[in-house]
A and B are shown apart, each in its own frame.
Chain A
Amino acid sequence: MTPVLELVDLEVRYGSVPALRGISLVVERGEIVTLLGANGAGKTTTLRTISGLHRAHSGRIVFNGRSIEALAAHDVVGIGVGHVPEGRRIFPRMSVLENLEMGAYRRRGELKDDLERIFQLFPVLGERRRQDGGTLSGGEQQMLAIGRAMMSHPDVLLLDEPSMGLAPLVVKAIFSIIDQIRADGTTILLVEQNATQALQLADRGYVLENGEIVMSGPSEEILGDQRIRAAYLGEGAAS
C-alpha cells in the first residue's frame, strides 16, 4: 500500500539558512503520526512546505503517489491536505459559520451535512455559530480551526501545535477529538511540543532537531528512550 504522505530527503532554506536539512518521513493511511521537536527545530516549516506555503529547496513531497512539491497552496488543499496552522489563524471578523464555510471554499454544493458533523464534534461551535471568530476563547478557536480544516474533507490533516496555550483539560478534550477524527477515517500528522501527550495519542513519532530527524519509531519506543526523555519530556538529564 502506498503511504498517504511521504517526504523524501526534503530540504528547505530561508534565504541561505537551512531550516530542514533533508528529512524523510512516511505517514500511512489511518495513522496518527507525531512530529516532535524543540522551538525552532523546523516542525512548522515542515508542515508549511507540505501545504505549499514554502518551496522546497530539494527533495520530494509525495501525496497519494503524486509529487506535489510544485503545487500552489490553494491547490494543495484541493487534493486532500487539510492544514490547521500554528496559532489557529481564525478569520477574526468572520462568524464561526463563515469560518467553517471558508474551509469548504474549494468545494461546491450543500454544506449542511458537513456542518452538522462539525457541530457534533464541537457542540460549542454550533452554539456560537453567529459569533465572530475573533471573540472565541483560545480553546474554541482551536476547535474552529480544526473544524474549518475538516470542512475540506482532507485525506490528511496537518495539525500544528493544537495544544499551544490551552489548559490541560481543554488539551485533553482536543486530543480525544483528534482520535475521533482519525477513527472516522482521516489520517493525521500532529506537530507538538507537548511530547508525552502527543506520544500517548500517536501510533508513531519522529523527533526533529535542528532540521534533522534524530529519532523515529513507535510511540512507546520514543517514550522509553532515555535521551528523548531528558530532552523533550521534561525529565532531568540522564547521567
Chain B
Amino acid sequence: MCFTTNFWPFLVQGLADGFLYALIALGYTLVYGVLQLINFAHSEVFMSGGFASYFVLEALIGTSQPHGMASVGYVAIGIGAGAFGGALVAFLLERVAYRPLRRRNAPRLAFLISAIGGSYFIYNLAGKEFGRNALEIPAPFLNGPAFTLFGATIQTDYVVVAICAIAMLIIVDRVVAMTRLGKGIRAVAQDAETASLMGVNINRVISQTFVIGGLLGGAAGFLFGLNFGVAYTMGFTPALKAFTAAVLGGIGNIRGAVLGGLLLGVIENLSVTCIGANWRDVVAFGILVAVLLVRPTGILGERLGRSA
C-alpha cells in the first residue's frame, strides 16, 4: 500500500537523487575504465566542487534574491564553479597520488592506500579551512512547487537537478562515443599498450579522464549543496552510494553508471515510504552487497561504453 499512497512523490525524489548518483558514478566508472582502479578520493572531488560553488555564489549572490534569467545564470555559474573545483582537485589527485605510483609500477594495494590517504588529506584540510559546520549556498532561485505530476508536487530544485544532470550525461556520452578524446579513452580502457602504439599518450588520456570525472562530480557537489548545504563531510555517503550505483550498473560501463544511479535512487526512496526512513542506507548498501554476491559485473557488465 506504500505503492498506492506515496508512490509518485518518492519516485520523483528517487530520480532526483539518482541523477546525482549517476553524475558521481561516472567519475568512478571512467577512471576504473582506464586504470582498473577505484578512485576512493572521488568523494572529496565531489566535496571540493560543492565548496567551490559555495564560495563563488556567496560572493556573487550574497543576500540578494535572484529570479528570472538571473537565476538561470547563477545556476550555470554554480555548475561551472563546481565543475571547475572538482576537475582541479581530480587533476591534482591524479598527478600527486597516482601517477608517481604508476611510474614505479607499484602494486595495486599501493594505489588503494594512496587513494585513501589523498581522500583523508583533502577531507581534513577542508574541515580545518572551511569549518566543521555546513554552509548554506545562497539560493540562486526561489524554490517552490514548479508543477504537479500524478498528484506529486515537483519542486523547482528537482527540475534544476534533472535538467542539468541530463544535459551533462548526454554530453559525456557523446564525447566518449564520438570525439577523438573519447576514442582515446575507450582505446586505453580496452588495451592501453596497443593504444600507445596508435599514438595515444596514455598519461594524458588518464589525466583527461580524471578531469572529466571531476567536472561531473564537482557539478554534482553543487547540485547536492543546493539542497543540503556544503560541509567537509558531505562527500562520504553520496559518493559511497554513487560507487554502489556504478557497481550496480557494471563498473567501467558509462550507461551502466546512469542506470545504476537512477535505480539506486528510486529503490532507496521507495524503501523510505515502504519500510521506513531509517532503512534507507541499509537498503542502499544491502544492494551493493547483493550485487557483488549475485552478479559482480553488474547489470550491464564490465565494459567501457561502446560508441552506439
Contact surface of A with B, Cβ cutoff 8 Å? 51-53, 72-75, 77-78, 83, 85, 89, 91-95, 98, 101-103, 105-106, 132, 148, 152
Contacts and interface: CB of A to CB of B under 8 A. Distances in A.
B199 A93 contact: no
Interface string B27-50: 000000000000000000000000
Contacts of A89: 191, 193-194, 197
A132 B306 CA distance: 9
Given A53-B196, A85-B194, A94 B186 contact: yes
Given A93-B306, A94-B307, A105-B180, A85 B187 contact: no
B198 interface: yes
A105 B183 contact: yes
Is chain B's binding surface mostly helix, strand, loop or mixed? helix
Contact of A102 (B183, B193, B304): B183
B25 to A, nearest CB: 20
A91 B199 contact: no
Nearest to A106: B199
B194 A77 contact: no
Going nearest first, the 10 A-B pairs with the smallest beta carbon separation are A106-B199, A73-B196, A89-B194, A105-B199, A77-B199, A102-B198, A91-B190, A105-B198, A74-B201, A83-B197
Given A73-B193, A94-B306, 11 more contacts: A74-B200, A75-B199, A77-B198, A85-B197, A91-B190, A91-B194, A93-B186, A93-B190, A105-B180, A105-B199, A152-B198
B202 interface: yes
B255 to A, nearest CB: 13
A142 B195 CA distance: 17
10 contacts: A53-B197, A72-B201, A74-B196, A74-B198, A85-B197, A94-B187, A98-B307, A105-B198, A106-B198, A152-B199
A91 B307 CA distance: 12
A92 B196 contact: no
B241 interface: no
B201 A102 contact: no
Contacts of A91: 186-187, 190-191, 194-195
Interface in B183-214: 183-184, 186-187, 190-191, 193-202
B197 A51 contact: yes
Interface centre among A74, A75, A98, A103, by most B CB within 10 Å? A74
Nearest to B180: A105
A106 B199 CA distance: 6
A74 B194 CA distance: 10
A71 B187 CA distance: 21
Interface in B71-96: none
A94 B189 CA distance: 11
B190 A92 contact: yes
Contacts of A103: 198
Given A98-B183, A105-B183, A105-B184, A77 B190 contact: no
A74 B187 contact: no
A109 to B, nearest CB: 12
A51 B183 CA distance: 21
B190 A94 contact: yes
Contacts of B200: 74, 102, 105
Nearest to B199: A106
Contacts of A95: 307
A44 B276 CA distance: 62
Nearest to B205: A74
Interface centre among B191, B195, B196, B197, by most A CB within 10 Å? B197
Contacts of A83: 197
Given A51-B197, A93-B190, A102-B183, A74 B202 contact: yes
A73 B197 CA distance: 6
Contacts of A101: 183
Contacts of B184: 105
A57 B28 CA distance: 38
A35 B307 CA distance: 38
